[in-house]
Chains A and B, each alone.
Chain A
Amino acid sequence: MTPTSDRLVFDNVSKFYGEVLGINRVDLTIPPGITSLVGPNGSGKTTIMNLMTGLLQPSQGEIRMLGICPDNPEAMFRHVGYCTQYDSFPKGATGQQFLYNYLRVHGHPHADATEMTERSIQRVNLIEASTRRVAGYSKGMRQRIKLAQAICHEPTVLILDEPLNGLDPMARAEMIELFRELAATGQHIVISSHILHEVDLISDQVILLNEGYVVAEGDIEGVRTEMSGRPLQILVRCDKAGLLASRVFEHESTVEARMHDDGGGLMVSTKDADAFLLAFNRIVLDNEIRIESVTPADADVQAVYQYLITQEGES
């Protein structure tokens, strides 16, 4: 079955988990390009993505992915790839086997599956680790191999649930570049994130969700303007936290830098996340700091959304 449309369409879609609301009366028409689903935890981002891919079935309404219904996986997954948030893998498989086996399940013959496996592993820059077991991968490597699994069959729609979670700044930059490349070829890329700063630089449009409802939709600029001036808190775990704290504090966008009690990390508040992250990358490289994780502080993210949602309500 070939696609009959270039849009991803949600027509009055609701999903209830028993009594609990997942999403309610969502109408969306997503054109090609990069679209971000942004909202706090529990806002319905993953529900929308799971509905798009048939992992969930709508309680009401209709979904069409390029004109194909998600309950037809045979047709849909020729064109759709999904990098889920589930951080689990078939036991005992190496990265290479993981991709190869699933390409064989897709129905690709050995030679094609081997070539496609190598290509996608190269694309996510995981060549050296590909013969190691996935169970021994770091969080960032697991994210990359999941991404490789989502893109290995060269889909035209790529759905990515929190794809930058757990990646260090270098890997984030690489991934964002990859998303841009894919979008430039006319693909649909749907990315979810609870960090607006993370996706605003690359998104063509943003869909803001809260408690199962779409509260804002459209051009990223409008949403970003509303956020300006609000400090973002970032949690960093690393090996030279004291040194990092002193260096980031020298940067003009840093409002506050607080060391963790165990000395293995710090919390940074910044009023300009983009400028800060650029400076942060340089500091890390210049001082050979080993980064374990970089994550925005949840409590503050919730506050940002509260702020945005309040603004939305008032306007």
Chain B
Amino acid sequence: MKSLWWRQIQGILRMEVRKSVLSTRALPLYLLAAIPATITFIVIAVSTIVGEPPPEFSGPSGATSLFAILFQLGILRSTLYFAAVWIFMNLFRGEVLDRSLHYYFLSPVRRDVLVAGKFTSAWVGVSMVFSVLTIVCFGAVHAYFGSASLSSLAGQLFAYLAIVWMACLGYGAIFMVAGLFMRNPVIPAILVFFWEGINAFLPSLLKKFSVLFYLQSLFPIDISEGPIEIIAEPVPLWIGIPGFIIFSGLTLLLAGFQIRRMEVHYADD
């Protein structure tokens, strides 16, 4: 039975990864990914024209700080977030809008296996695009503004990639469920964006209801959010990451429950 499920998930992956990264549905994903890449190359171009980089960003530690800011603001909190909103919310909604969901429902596939297959393929697609983006931006910043030792860079890069994968997991689970439960998923997307944006200024108890909070322990360096930031002790890595995976798993179980009850009604039936 397990091997059948695995073959079915592979079959779903074949179709869905293509949809996530090679179809017209993937266009917003690439447009969003292009934004931080463009910003990185504009910063490099401006520094080249001016002649030398600002002193706070020159040298290995400066490059590390510059990339940390770029990653937090340009990738994690904005473009990756909205890419996850777009891809994961449309996992089932997109099929309903294309009126093709019934083909999956008419296959001998358990609906929770379908959830697992579709979620995994979207996770692979978004993670792949943003991993490449992170590597390119990281490489460009460190190549231009100053390089630390290779081992230190490799450690930092791996940490950033892990954040990308975990963020896709967390946001992906939330937005897939939102896409299944909500008629208008834009509202939860904006609410979560607002909540994640004010996370730094929330009391430590409320901070825990946030994806970003659990990713803090993975960041290679801390960035100050300003004088009114409320500092909370980050969750230890060994609790934060498994807890995060369990949370995402529970969210997927909820999605599986919802999809089992789902009926196929297209707009003009």
Contacts and interface: CB of A to CB of B under 8 A. Distances in A.
Interface of A: 17, 50, 53-57, 71, 73-78, 81-82, 84, 86, 88-92, 101-109, 149, 153
Given A86-B99, A91-B98, A106 B15 contact: no
A144 to B, nearest CB: 16
A102 B263 contact: no
A107 B11 contact: yes
A90 B111 contact: no
Contact of A109 (B7, B104, B105): B7
Contact of B110 (A57, A74, A90, A103): A74
A57 B261 contact: yes
Given A102-B107, A105-B15, 10 more contacts: A53-B105, A56-B264, A74-B108, A81-B106, A88-B98, A106-B109, A107-B7, A107-B8, A107-B108, A108-B7
A153 B106 CA distance: 11
Contacts of A153: 108
B105 A55 contact: yes
B263 A105 contact: no
Interface residues of B, number: 30
A53 B106 contact: yes
Contact of B103 (A75, A90, A107): A90
Contacts of B108: 73-78, 106-107, 153
Contacts of A74: 108-110
A90 B108 CA distance: 18
Contacts of B261: 57
A145 to B, nearest CB: 12
B10 A86 contact: no
Contacts of B8: 105-107
B12 interface: yes
A50 B24 CA distance: 30
